[in-house]
Structure 1
Amino acid sequence: MRSSRDRKAPAAVVAAKGDDAMRKYVAEFVGTFVLVLGGVGAAVLAGDRIGFLGVSFAFGLSLLAMVYVIGPISGCHVNPAVTMGLSLAGKFENKHILGYIVAQCLGACLAAGVVLAIAKGIPGGYQASISGLGSNGYGIASPEGYSAGAAFLTEVALTFLLVLTVLGATDARAPVGFAGLAIGLVLTLIHLVGIPVTNTSVNPARSLGPALFAGGTALGQLWLFIIAPLLGSGLAAAVYRTLFRPVAAISARTAERSLDAQRAQRIAEDRGDRTHSPV
């Protein structure tokens, strides 16, 4: 006969898994909030002073910081296209896709709202519907007037580059500890190329936040900045599966358990060092 302690164990396991999932979603919310606040905030509040180069680094540095802050918790996707790419490459559990994307979109919308609230404090005020709030666009909404076709191709190609970098830099055979640096730098490069064309999206959540407040053209053109990044993400996953074909497939869950075990070992070693420290 099973004891009451044995009967309670499965419930405790389910509760622990639920708490772990929620931590991941909150981490994605926070990470996307920081990305949009840092990147879009730089474009809206300081764009005239720092230019394309400064805005590009603002996005790249925001992502670089978040990789090391929330990466151990959620993997730091902060982008629905990255989440989809990891899923298609077999490196992410499908059951978390919806939670991640919802959290990312909510974080981006809140960040855009904060940027708008700050921008309105300037003498004379700020109107998102007129100034755009750093929204993405093509045609009349493109910084240099690029067409919809050019914008679509740019977003597909640049998202492909971003997601392929994420997949390759986090591969088991990649140098350990350098993924954040590679991903942050490639996002900087992507913005240097894409800002004149579309203001650079490569991230449906990043596009959604400003578009909701800007409305009008930004909202009407939002479809391109959802479809193109997801298409680029799918292409990156296909190329990754071809180039990095593993000898034996490892599921995302197995990889996560391995990472957790390694972290637990490092924590135990750190506690041991402090216990024996003379300080």
Structure 2
Amino acid sequence: MEGKEEDVRLGANRYSERQPIGTAAQGAADDKDYQEPPPAPLFEPGELKSWSFYRAGIAEFVATFLFLYITILTVMGVSKSPSKCATVGIQGIAWSFGGMIFALVYCTAGISGGHINPAVTFGLFLARKLSLTRAIFYIVMQCLGAICGAGVVKGFQQGLYMGNGGGANVVASGYTKGDGLGAEIVGTFILVYTVFSATDAKRNARDSHVPILAPLPIGFAVFLVHLATIPITGTGINPARSLGAAIIYNRDHAWNDHWIFWVGPFVGAALAAIYHQVIIRAIPFKSRS
């Protein structure tokens, strides 16, 4: 046991917090027991000839389809009930979103990375974790999956769906557009920063004695953000989710503030990518191509 405790102590203290900035960060420590993945090239045409590329896109489509199907059905169930005490309520909606992200990231992480969100894909693209080719393909497939998922819910119960907002994101009365935009920026920052932290190569090496399941903190981040911001915007933090519900519901007020649910998540994702890569990790943005 003494030897094990010594290993844990050394593992926890092995990395100095005084890290070099910029390109020096990559070559400063040759004794690292982890490897930083090289930045992805901006364009990778060879991907278009690979079945794994299309398989990953299909996985993103199916995951986003299932995500919208379960979560919008949950929202409709709460809306249908005459009393919030007779249903799962806001907490249940938040658990639905967070739980589905946990399950779907767990299922698809080994195939596509388990993004299920254009904002996550955008943030990882900015950090050079995937190519522009793959990022665009993922976002298109995520949006298509979201549209299909919301469409199936409407097909099940059209009257209920159209009479209760269709799960579309709008800024609630009593809040300004600025409030909604701020909530979306901060909420997405929390989510994308959690994604970066949960999948960080250095963290996985440092905490190798503590098993970590990356989908769990990501799902909890989604759950907590929903608890905080459902009363403000219905919680978007996922442009595909907002687009799918808006297209299938297709009422004017669902489109009036729709830009907020693209601009907010993309700004929040960009800030999280910059914060984690430049401030926390000081990783240079240089391509392997």
Please classify the TM superposition score into its range, dividing by the shorter chain length.
0.7 to 0.9
TM-score, normalization: structure 2? Answer: 0.75
Gap regions ≥5 residues in structure 2: 1-45, 82-86, 205-210
| Displacement after TM superposition at 1:35 (Å) | 1.4
Residue of structure 1 in register with 2:129 after alignment: 91
Q: Which amino acid in the other structure matches residue 153 of structure 1?
A: G
Q: Residues 189, 238 of structure 1: CA spacing in aligned structure 2 closer, same or farther, 3 A cutoff?
A: same
Residue of structure 2 in register with 1:169 after alignment: 198
Alpha-carbon separation, structure 2, partners of 1:92 and 1:15: 11
Q: Which amino acid in the other structure matches residue 263 of structure 2?
A: I
1:213 is aligned to 2:274 = no
| Displacement after TM superposition at 1:145 (Å) | 3.3
Q: Residues 193, 251 of structure 1: CA spacing in aligned structure 2 closer, same or farther, 3 A cutoff?
A: farther
Residue of structure 2 in register with 1:10 after alignment: none
Q: Is the 8 A contact 2:47 2:53 kept in 1?
A: no
1:133 is aligned to 2:166 = yes
Residue of structure 1 in register with 2:223 after alignment: 188
Q: Which amino acid in the other structure matches residue 182 of structure 1?
A: P
- Matching of residues 43-62 of structure 1 within 5 Å: 43-47=75-79, 48=81, 49-62=87-100
1:230 is aligned to 2:266 = yes
| Displacement after TM superposition at 1:212 (Å) | 0.8
Residue of structure 2 in register with 1:3 after alignment: none
Instruction: Tell me which of 188, 197, 205 is aligned to 1:159.
Output: 188
Residue of structure 1 in register with 2:20 after alignment: none
1:35 is aligned to 2:67 = yes
| Displacement after TM superposition at 1:113 (Å) | 0.5
| Displacement after TM superposition at 1:94 (Å) | 1.9
**Once the two structures are aligned, what percentage of the paired residues are identical?**
38
Alpha-carbon separation, structure 2, partners of 1:16 and 1:126: 42
Q: Is the 8 A contact 2:64 2:116 kept in 1?
A: yes
Residue of structure 2 in register with 1:277 after alignment: none
Q: Residues 181, 252 of structure 1: CA spacing in aligned structure 2 closer, same or farther, 3 A cutoff?
A: farther
Cα deviation code 1:36-74 (max 9, x no counterpart): 112222111245411110000000110100111111000
Alpha-carbon separation, structure 1, partners of 2:180 and 2:56: 32
| Displacement after TM superposition at 1:221 (Å) | 1.8
Cα deviation code 1:92-149 (max 9, x no counterpart): 22221111000000000000001111223xxxx3252x421111111xxx1x532211
| Displacement after TM superposition at 1:250 (Å) | 9.0
Instruction: Tell me which of 35, 54, 58 is aligned to 1:22.
Output: 54
Q: Is the 8 A contact 2:143 2:243 kept in 1?
A: yes
Gap regions ≥5 residues in structure 1: 1-13, 254-279
Instruction: Tell me which of 107, 120, 124 is aligned to 1:69.
Output: 107
- 3-state DSSP class of the match of 1:173? helix
List structure 1 runs of 4+ shifted beyond 4 angstroms.
Answer: 14-17, 248-253
Would you tell me which structure has more helix in proportion to its own residues? 1
Count of residues in correspondence between the two structures: 231
Alpha-carbon separation, structure 2, partners of 1:190 and 1:145: 20
- 3-state DSSP class of the match of 1:213? helix
Residue of structure 2 in register with 1:245 after alignment: 282
Alpha-carbon separation, structure 1, partners of 2:59 and 2:115: 10
Alpha-carbon separation, structure 1, partners of 2:113 and 2:285: 19
Cα deviation code 1:222-274 (max 9, x no counterpart): 1110111101111001101110224x879799xxxxxxxxxxxxxxxxxxxxx
- 3-state DSSP class of the match of 1:229? helix
Q: Is the 8 A contact 2:119 2:269 kept in 1?
A: yes
Instruction: Tell me which of 96, 112, 115 is aligned to 2:150.
Output: 112
Q: Is the 8 A contact 1:93 1:252 kept in 2?
A: no
Provide the alpha-carbon RMSD of the alignment.
Answer: 2.2
Q: Which amino acid in the other structure matches residue 93 of structure 1?
A: S
